[in-house]
Structure 1
Amino acid sequence: MAATGAAVLAALVAYTVFMRWVVGKPPHWAEELPQLILVWTTLLAAIACTRHRSHLNAGLLPLLVHSPGARRALGRVTDLVLLLMLLVLAKAGWELAMLTMAQTTTALQMPAGIVYLAVPVSCLGMALMQLEHLFTRGDTP
């Protein structure tokens, strides 16, 4: 999914550059559409990163906590805190999306809330991944 979004984004930017510098007439959506695709692609890709635990981390936990049991317990607590924060962020994102749904974007004339809707959608997806982490018995970082 992330690769498809990046490919579409690259194609749109290349087309926009061609139209602006070769043809001399950039498309009216040259700013908004790539921005919309970038936001949605990035936030949806964060769900996959959460699933695979591939987000950046400092890697200090194994240096500070030597007991595997304590690391697992601390990992569970971390997963729970992340789950709660993602749910709070999803609620705030939903409220912002609904607040801006009546406004339209300048070039695409679509509801502005569509851009902000990426936040609750991705946060709920990441929250589901955190739930999976909480209820599986595998080692947590």
Structure 2
Amino acid sequence: MEVRRKVDRILGMILSTIMAVMVVNVLWQVFTRFVVGTPSSFTDEFARYLMIWVGVLGAAYISGRRMHVAIDLLPTRLNKEGQTKLKTFVNWIIIVFCFTALVIGGLRLVYITFILGQYSPALQIPLAIVYSVIPISGMLIIYYKLSDIINKQL
């Protein structure tokens, strides 16, 4: 559980940093547009990429904190053992989905954009870097769900 707390803390700090950078970035955009009169060319794209990272990494963080949205109609009607089995089953479904869609699919997306040499228009950074958050988030969610199953934290 100590490793999980460290992962939570590091992920929380990364998300806070990304949010702070995004706020500064948007403030700079507003300043250059309304005060200087010529909007900055990179801030819109940079804010979009930061929002992608916050959204996808935030999903992993929320999954790890077990704060995600859930419909608990069925679990409330089951006894304690049934609830545990259902939650374990749901965690396994989440693991399979994250592995196939986020990890494998995300790695394929990163690989394809890297091989094709796609770059962002304004920032001129490889789009593979932007998309790399997808498999990273998938691996984090898998880690959290396996930790929940192993430690019976359902």
Using structure 1 for the length normalisation, give the TM-score: 0.91
Equivalent residue letter for 2:27:
A
> Is the helix fraction higher in 1 or 2?
2
Report if aligned partners of 2:56, 2:137 keep a CA contact under 8 Å in 1.
Answer: yes
Structure with the bigger RCO (C-alpha within 8 Å, sep 6+) is 1
Deviations 1:74-121 (A, max 9, x none): 100000110011000110011011111211110011111212111111
Report if aligned partners of 2:99, 2:138 keep a CA contact under 8 Å in 1.
Answer: yes
Identity of aligned residues (%): 26
Q: Distance in 2 between matches of 1:134 and 1:97?
A: 29
Q: Give the paired residue count.
A: 138
Alignment equivalent of 1:111, drawn from 123, 126, 134: 126
Q: Distance in 2 between matches of 1:132 and 1:7?
A: 30
RMSD value over aligned CA atoms?
Answer: 1.3
Unaligned regions of 5+ residues in structure 2, if any? Answer: 1-12
SS in structure 2 of the partner of residue 108 of structure 1: coil
Report if aligned partners of 2:110, 2:132 keep a CA contact under 8 Å in 1.
Answer: yes
Unaligned regions of 5+ residues in structure 1, if any? Answer: none
Q: Distance in 2 between matches of 1:85 and 1:62?
A: 21
Alignment equivalent of 1:13, drawn from 6, 26, 35: 26
The corresponding residue for 2:42 is 29
Greater Cα shift, 31-40 or 80-89: 31-40
